[in-house]
Structure 1
Amino acid sequence: MSSEALTPDRILEATEEVLRRYGPAKATVVDVARALGVSHGSVYRHFRTKAALREAVTQRWLGRTEELLAETTADPGTDPGPEKLRAWLATLFDAKRHKAGDDPELFATYSALIDDSSTVVERHIETLLGQVEQIIEEGAAAGRFAPADPAQAARAVFDATSRFHDPAYAPVWSSPAIQTEFTAVTDLLLRGLRP
């Protein structure tokens, strides 16, 4: 057994490496245990099922983006309203694009896992919608956005920009025109939110 204490974080790190190496179809809990130098029963003490382990690793992966976006949402130095919403959308697009481009094997793995982790994905989307809603509320309170139902406006912004954050569109994110297209959509949305 490994000399380091077995923790959920260590298991999730090892799971990422195993998924990167074998892919979601072939990776097993035994592979994760082998990578950690423990029995598979030790892994199951932290994650009761293979599905629970996959959900946890997916939540961890999506959580990194949530944390990054939370910093943008809470940034007191960014003007509330259009500037903050533009920064948030750009941060989301950049994060997704980097995940797809920097580690395509792991991105493909997570895209497959996401299909099996619908509740994790739903919670992730609700978190992101909550952040956009907060930005829209702040912008409206500052007179930078027209008064509107923040939840409906957040959903509209999120849906309108799906091409720049939904993993299904990852193949077009490397297009030479994608940044121009992102700017055009963002400009249009921000004009629509003005008072």
Structure 2
Amino acid sequence: MKNSSEALTKEQILAATEDTLRRFGVAKTSITDVAKALDVSHGTIYRHFKNKKEIFEAATEKWLNEKIMQPLADVYHDTSCTGASHVKAYIEKLFELKRYYARKDEELFEMYAKVTNECTELVDKSIDQIIGQLSELIAVCPAYSNDSEELARSIFYATERFHHPAHANEWKRETIEQEFNIVWNLIEKGFLK
């Protein structure tokens, strides 16, 4: 075991938590598993995190920020498209990212689904950020002059089936992209043109 006086950072613990989750899954990962991966005692982990719930929330927030929110911010800042097409690109990216990680990083997506189901503060923070960015994209749509935040919230909830983790099994269907386009066409023709 490493000398406990060596500086162990929260970032190292969170990285080890991700690795351990990928190896054992959400249900079977323990603080002891994370400590073993870092070659430290589990008491060392408790100096940074109170319990398993807290470490999972921090790992989920890190994952959410890196894997979902940053790529969405990149789309938000992309100046190559404007108006309704920019709003659509943003929502499509959200759908694409969630679908990708549900398939390619199942254990961490499962952690994300579990934690966001239990931690409303984390969910509300990310939803507010998404709605804020959508609202600003909508505000510059030439044909839309009403409350852009209300429409952003409506679009977010109207497309929930395509980004809420509770619907992840539906994303495997061959018709899911066609279904998204049907919903999007209704939104675009009804509100953004």
Please say whether Structure 1 and Structure 2 have the same fold, judged by a TM-score greater than 0.5.
Answer: yes
Count of equivalent residues: 190
The equivalent position to 1:137 in structure 2, one of 125, 136, 139, is 139
TM-score, scaled to structure 2: 0.90
C-alpha distance in 2, partners of 1:161/1:110? 19
C-alpha distance in 1, partners of 2:26/2:192? 45
1:68 is aligned to 2:66 = no
Q: 1:77 aligns to what?
A: 80
Name the SS for the 1:46 alignment partner. coil
- Note the alpha carbon deviations across 1:23-74, whole angstroms, 9 max, x for none: 3233211111110111222222222332221110111121120111011111
CA contact (8 A) 2:60 2:111 kept: no
Q: 2:189 aligns to what?
A: 191
CA contact (8 A) 1:24 1:113 kept: no
CA contact (8 A) 2:20 2:33 kept: yes
C-alpha distance in 1, partners of 2:184/2:130? 17
- Where does 1:148-187 land on structure 2 (aligned, <5 Å)? 148-187=146-185
Q: 2:49 aligns to what?
A: 47
CA contact (8 A) 2:26 2:110 kept: no
- Note the alpha carbon deviations across 1:165-188, whole angstroms, 9 max, x for none: 011111111111111111111121
TM-score, scaled to structure 1: 0.89
Q: 2:13 aligns to what?
A: 11
Letter in 1 for 2:156: F
C-alpha distance in 2, partners of 1:39/1:188? 56
Q: 1:95 aligns to what?
A: 97
RMSD: 1.9
Q: Which moved more, 1:105-114 or 1:148-157?
A: 105-114
C-alpha distance in 2, partners of 1:177/1:84? 23
Shift in Å at residue 77 of structure 1?
Answer: 2.0
**Consecutive aligned runs of 4 or more in structure 1 exceeding 4 Å deviation:** none
* Percent identical: 39
